[in-house]
Amino acid sequence: MTARNVLWIMCDQLRFDYLSCAGHGSLATPNIDRLAARGVRFTRAYVQSPVCGPSRMSFYTGRYMRSHGANWNQFPLRVDEPTLGDASKALGVRNVLVGKTHMRADDDGLDRLGIDRASDIGVHVSQCGFEPFERDDGLHPTASGGGRTRYDEHLRARGFGGANPWEDWANAGDAEGGLASGWLLAHADKVARVDEAESETPYMTRRAMEFIADAARDGRPWCLHLSYIKPHWPYIAPAPYHALYGPADVKPAVRDAAERVDPHPVYAAFMDLRVSRNMARDEVRARVIPAYMGLIKQIDDQLGELFAFLESEGLADTTLVAFTSDHGDYLGDHWLGEKDLFHDCSVKVPLIVYDPSPAADGTRGTVCDRLVEAIDLAPTIVDWFGGRPRPNVMEGRSLLPLLHGRTDLPWRRYAVSEYDFSMLEVRAALGLAPRDSRLFMLFDGRWKLVHAPGFRPMLFDLADDPDEVRDLGGDPTHAPEIARLRDLLLDWALRDHARVTMDDDAILAYGPATQLERGVMIGYTDEAEVAQARADYGLD
Amino acid sequence: MTARNVLWIMCDQLRFDYLSCAGHGSLATPNIDRLAARGVRFTRAYVQSPVCGPSRMSFYTGRYMRSHGANWNQFPLRVDEPTLGDASKALGVRNVLVGKTHMRADDDGLDRLGIDRASDIGVHVSQCGFEPFERDDGLHPTASGGGRTRYDEHLRARGFGGANPWEDWANAGDAEGGLASGWLLAHADKVARVDEAESETPYMTRRAMEFIADAARDGRPWCLHLSYIKPHWPYIAPAPYHALYGPADVKPAVRDAAERVDPHPVYAAFMDLRVSRNMARDEVRARVIPAYMGLIKQIDDQLGELFAFLESEGLADTTLVAFTSDHGDYLGDHWLGEKDLFHDCSVKVPLIVYDPSPAADGTRGTVCDRLVEAIDLAPTIVDWFGGRPRPNVMEGRSLLPLLHGRTDLPWRRYAVSEYDFSMLEVRAALGLAPRDSRLFMLFDGRWKLVHAPGFRPMLFDLADDPDEVRDLGGDPTHAPEIARLRDLLLDWALRDHARVTMDDDAILAYGPATQLERGVMIGYTDEAEVAQARADYGLD
């Protein structure tokens, strides 16, 4: 292997169980399955927050949400937050984006520090450490000034014109007398007005190929983050994907009438959201889920093209490939829509990593059920490029040892995820201040605690109740379990997460001899004691 | 009142109880007492970490140590950490330094963000948000390249010459055949070789007066941080202060033989440090404490001069004056030297605030026993200048309401302090990794919990044991108290501390109407539902 690259594919809102390799019955994803057959599929990969913005900021920094502080969509990532891009830059690796990051630049920070947004550094920090070959967050409503992306220009050039081709062609169907907006769940069974080849997923796939071809001329190693907006809503697919699946392919919602009897107040407020009320309706599910499946199928087909391209470019044996998602989608399970809470369908994501090196030959086609977190991917990439992840900065752990079959290594005992619901109606419904609108999940492989400050906890026993329909948080017989998990949460919460300017190595290199050598004689009585210490420390 | 200024005086390593207004029997501090008679003396003011660096970074940012991440001396403050200086700048106020901050600039961050250190912004962030009228951290051993400060130049000009006047004149006495280094405890009873008028405290006081005179010509309001290095070691005083106090003035050490019987392992490791072993010796205390008292007396005398100057400049009625310290000094109490742990003599500091406005007339000369934290000072200053402290950035609370007699306001129920002992021999002695070398204090006004991850807690009942000599942390009868305090610690630890880029106001202004107005139609079924919502939200 000479050049070592990374192709990091991310879907948006893809559930862990909507892949055939993960056991979905009616949805075949042979190309993703083939990746799993060559790599390792992680069955317990958890995101650090089940919503795009903070989840991605954790992926891109290797840091928990409580560390990076970008708690929700459009919360800026502070200007000096260390990213994978900073680590890559130090290793001479290009960290390149095609697609979505949901990064919002810290305008106040840029102004305060006098950083020119157009400078290399300004772009780097404004783009979350990525070199934006193509940045497109994939949501461009006209009311927010949509219609101005490179993709819009592309659509216009292909004859899909107007003020907002993204909204009017790629994410709309036809209706009598006008457009059927793809934003509306009632239109999810319609066919998108755009040609399949010009829809978002193939467009971004081609852009990825253009970058890869281009990068060969540059010569530097690269990490390409190909970040699809799909199968995120608007739920509407182009032909033929709009019609591949129908109501018969829709699995029954995972839910229980008992969930609505005396529910936890926070859960109750989430069930009462508009999106939950609508997604809980069977007729809505029957329209939306086939479109969701079609969009996934399209991604799988595109990945077939992309993997073939990698092969033809001679890069398949030198490129580590990771496939994941930023969070899942309730799709009506648990009487909920969207994501935002901690049932597995929301907080657990697909994660497949293919390491082409011979060291990984022993694990090909296996599954790994270790507790893995989204923050593990950034240190994995640093490790792959020969760097040493800084544990005081990147809070995740490299997965390479697991890919290389090192089952003897101690591993984390629990995964943690956080959610800030201050931007949702849930906050007002519960009468909370922004700072109190927080939830914390701690999952130890069996027990899942959801700590809700100011409320009783929620608790699920996934061994006994894999569907997570029985909240045991109010049951006094489980108090010892809850106390044990709270202790772990306290351990986690008290960890250092802000000591980004001082590495462990520098700490370990410091000692009383260092201090004395610098002439700082703390607590010495007299000259004889100093002389003795200098001798003991070998300073003379 | 026209111009409103702040004079923020900080001592270094001054215990809360070494002032006559705080009940010290043999040490008279009439000028500080007079300030207390005009203002409010806070009897329960706690620092966020009982060691210079992190304590000061908390004072200067209004943020807990776990938030700013500068966990120990010489740990850089990250380049975009928001400071009091940023808030002052936004209010048109000069934030000016004379003396010590212990700030270390974030060189990596400056390089990464391309910030020129000599630019205004570069100086601002490198100096922790201060305009350095005179920066002097007050510890300049020759072995670390000492002898190059403005103060050294001043000493040379006054005839105290050589390579390192700070070390050889201001912090040394005479010995047969050479110098008696002030670093060594055996020399604490000697007289410093410098003239009193040229020693550090009067020098810095004069520099403060020079700034104040200079600022009158500038016209902008100012916050002057006059930050004395004393009574911090080297413990050696110039004449006559070296001889004002003697062994008869030294109070017995606050300690109990029982403290050394089966002590908590972390406490045991601290007792075993060289400085603790030496400072626990009565003959050492008899030399050191009189010098410590002399240095405090000198500060008090200098403050008399400074307050008279403020008066003569006509500023006494428009300048808020705060007097405090960054932490205390064990001085052999509890068999310990230095600071670093959470007994009151280390973690509690003097805090006196004089607000000249009529609103404070009702509280003059009173004491306040609310739980106050070092992080309260920065928001107090912002409030005084008419600004609104951002609660997602500054975690402390303005003290102005307390100064104005608002006893009806709800106040915090506990104070928290942290300590990172990874840089001390304690870490190696206990065989810990840097990340595990942490302690947390939570004090609710009666019970003081010291949480030590990996060890049993320490617990003191200050109602029953005001000297804190009985650690109840291993006593099972106190398990309910410990559990209650741990719950509070969990609440505190899970608070947001990194959401610095998104203010509460922006969160509160956002809602489902905002989302719909921006064209982001999440979870709507059809056009009729959108139309209804638009009407409900008044968007049409």
Q: Map out the domains of chain A as residue ranges.
A: 5-410, 510-536
- Which tokens hold the place of A466? 């894999």
Q: Which of B:125-164 have CB within 8 Å of A?
A: 125, 139, 141-144, 146
Rounded to two decimals, the ipTM of the complex is: 0.96
CB-side neighbour CA atoms (13 Å) of A310: 23
- Which tokens hold the place of A80? 């000096």
- As beta bridge partners, residue B443 has B415, B448
- As beta bridge partners, residue B175 has B178
pLDDT at B1: 46
Yes or no: say if B42 and B375 are a contact pair by the CB < 8 Å rule.
no
What is the overall mean pLDDT for chain A? 97
pLDDT at A1: 46
| CA dist A321 → A307, B7, B211, B504 (Å) | 10, 59, 61, 40
Pairing of strands A415-420, A438-443: antiparallel
Q: Do B435 and A497 touch (CB under 8 A)?
A: no
- Greater confidence (A338 vs B1) lies with A338
CB-side neighbour CA atoms (13 Å) of B127: 24
Chain B touched by A508 (CB under 8 Å): yes
Chain B touched by A63 (CB under 8 Å): no
Which residues make Cβ contacts (< 8 Å) with residue B242, sequence separation at least 6? B189, B190, B191, B192, B236, B291, B294
- Which tokens hold the place of A268? 């109750």
| CA dist A234 → A151, A200, A338, B486 (Å) | 16, 12, 12, 45
Q: Tell whether the model's pLDDT for residue B335 goes beyond 90.
A: yes
Chain A touched by B512 (CB under 8 Å): yes
Q: Do B490 and A491 touch (CB under 8 A)?
A: no
pLDDT at B128: 98
DSSP of B348-398? EEEEEEE--SGGGGGGTTEEE-S-EEGGGHHHHHHHHTT----TTT--S--
pLDDT tens across B246-278, in order?
Answer: 999 999 999 999 999 999 999 999 999 999 999
Structure-token match 């997602």, residue found? B392
pLDDT tens across A32-44, in order?
Answer: 999 999 999 999 9
- Which tokens hold the place of B37? 């008679």
What percent of chain B clears pLDDT 70, i.e. is strictly above it?
99
Report whether the peptide linkage leading into residue B410 is cis, meaning its omega lies within 30 degrees of zero: no
Yes or no: say if A347 and A441 are a contact pair by the CB < 8 Å rule.
yes
A352: closest CA of chain B, how far (Å): 30
Helix (H, G, I), strand (E, B) or coil at B337: coil
Yes or no: say if B53 and B60 are a contact pair by the CB < 8 Å rule.
no
pLDDT tens across B99-140, in order?
Answer: 999 999 999 999 999 999 999 999 999 999 999 999 999 999
- Which tokens hold the place of B370? 């609310």
pLDDT tens across B278-290, in order?
Answer: 999 999 999 999 9
Q: Which of A:219-278 have CB within 8 Å of B?
A: 233, 273-276, 278
- As beta bridge partners, residue B7 has B224, B321
Chain B touched by A6 (CB under 8 Å): no
| Substitution target from A65, A88, A113 for chain B, most B beta carbons within 10 A | A113
Q: Do A519 and B144 touch (CB under 8 A)?
A: yes
pLDDT at A2: 53
Taking the CB of residue A267, how many other CB atoms lie within 10 A of it? 24
H or E, element range at A283? helix A282-312
pLDDT at A407: 86
Yes or no: say if B288 and B235 are a contact pair by the CB < 8 Å rule.
yes
Chain B touched by A405 (CB under 8 Å): no
CA–CA separation, B439 and B427 (whole Å): 12
Yes or no: say if B306 and B209 are a contact pair by the CB < 8 Å rule.
yes
CA–CA separation, A496 and A520 (whole Å): 27
Chain A touched by B496 (CB under 8 Å): yes
Chain B touched by A509 (CB under 8 Å): no
Which residue from B80, B181, B423 is facing A109, i.e. has the nearest CB?
A: B80
Helix (H, G, I), strand (E, B) or coil at B416: strand
Taking the CB of residue B410, how many other CB atoms lie within 10 A of it? 5
Which residue from B186, B501, B520 is facing A525, i.e. has the nearest CB?
A: B186
Yes or no: say if A459 and A450 are a contact pair by the CB < 8 Å rule.
yes
pTM tops 0.95:
yes
- The class that CATH gives domain A5-410 is alpha beta
Residue of B nearest to A332 (CA): B523
Q: How far apart are the first and last CA of chain A?
A: 49
Q: Do B423 and A489 touch (CB under 8 A)?
A: no
Taking the CB of residue A296, how many other CB atoms lie within 10 A of it? 25
